[in-house]
Amino acid sequence: MDPIVAAASVLAAALAVGLASIGPGIGQGNAAAQAVEGIARQPEAEGKIRGTLLLSLAFMEALTIYGLVVALVLLFANPFA
Amino acid sequence: MDTLHLLDTFNLLPFAELEVGHHLYWHLGNLKVHGQVFITSWFVIAVLILASLAATRSIQRIPTGMQNLMEYALEFIRDLARTQIGEKEYRAWVPFVGTLLLFIFLSNWSGALIPWRIIKLPEGELAAPTSDINTTVAFALLTSLAYFYAGFKKKGLGYFGNYVQPEPIMLPFKIIEDFTKPLSLSFRLFGNILADELVVAVLVLLVPLFVPLPVMVLGLFTSAIQALIFATLASAYIGEAMEDHGHEGEGHEEHS
């Protein structure tokens, strides 16, 4: 592999995961905060809130995973190598 | 250089290897297929068939053992389909959603729980079938077919009316959505499972004992959630395709 392509790929992979984790991080924080607030206000709804929270957290997680997929493609299946 | 040598010695350990992008190729006619995916898929299918046979071999009025477990799974799947698709239509879709859920769930857990590395392959390695993009794309395309089929069966050509609901300006977005749905479904599942396996593999590479255990447990948890999400989304898409826009206020109550 061309060393410049290799270096660019490694940098791009790091940036892909790093940048892709910012948004979902904020989103997950918001969701968890709201869920805690909801539980504090209505402790009897804890089970339902937890289920919904876990499901929506996994959806947000998926956005980071897209970045990770791009990073993995760059590292292990680089189309420009 | 010393650290590099250290990494080499780690690579000599039998269970600490990282292999991504190496596959065991089988040639079928002009096609090259990933053999290791087939082997693990067949294993999962065999487990599912054996479990179903064991559960239904002698059906009791008061279920015990295997029958009890499978009845619990069936009720879970039925509830999931009912909340997403709706009381009237869900029954026909329980087999499809259930197959997706059980197969993906068992595939994910087989990759995490069964020490496939003991079996040596000439090339590539055995892992969860869902950590190969081909498997997940197949599932996602099947889901697409299923919801188109559901929509056309329910409404005929009137299904295209969905594309201009509630506003005609939504048309391009709805068309794009038909492509992004399978894309995001397949990438979500593939990325999550591959990420789980990679994180565990990297940690095992660094510290072979005990330290990777919590991450493995977390991996089991996220794998189960991913199977649940795939099934939930598939049934939500099917329910959305069959939603009745003609009578306002009727179709929306079934979304949980």
pLDDT at B66 over 70: yes
Give this complex's ipTM: 0.70
Q: Which one of A52, A57, A65 would you mutate to disrupt binding with B, by most B Cβ within 10 Å of its Cβ?
A: A65
Measured distance CA(B249)–CA(B53) in Å, rounded: 43
Q: Give the nearest chain B residue to A68 (CA atoms).
A: B191
Residue A64 neighbours by CB under 8 Å, 6+ apart: A17, A20, A21, A24
Instruction: Identify which has the larger pLDDT, B256 or B76.
Output: B76
CB contact under 8 A, B232 and A69: no
Among A58, A69, A77, select the one facing B21 at the smallest CB separation. A77
Name residues of chain A where pLDDT drops below 70. Answer: none
Contact: B191, A76; criterion CB under 8 Å: no
pLDDT tens-digit readout, B178-209: 898 898 899 889 988 988 888 888 888 888 88
pTM value is: 0.81
Per-residue pLDDT at B7 exceeds 50:
no
Burial of B79-103, coded b for 16+ CB within 10 Å and e otherwise, reads: ebbbbbbbeebbeebbebbbebbbb
Q: Are B122 and B24 in contact (CB under 8 A)?
A: yes
- Measured between alpha carbons, how far is A29 from A65 in angstroms, rounded to an integer? 17
Inter-chain contact A76–B20, Cβ cutoff 8 Å? yes
Q: Please identify, in words, the CATH class of the domain defined by A26-74.
A: mainly alpha
- Strand pairing report for B31-34 and B25-28: antiparallel
Q: Give the per-residue pLDDT at B19.
A: 61
Select the residue of A54, A66, A72 nearest B194 (Cβ to Cβ).
Answer: A72
Categorize the per-residue pLDDT at B248 as very low, low, confident or very high, splitting at 50, 70 and 90: very low
Helix (H) / strand (E) containing B31: strand B31-34
Closest CA to B88 of B238, B246, B248, B228: B238
Mean pLDDT of chain B: 82
Question: Quick check: B249 pLDDT over 60?
Answer: no
Using the Cβ of A69 and the Cβ atoms of chain B, whether some distance falls under 8 Å is answered with yes
Predicted confidence at residue B46, as pLDDT, reads 94
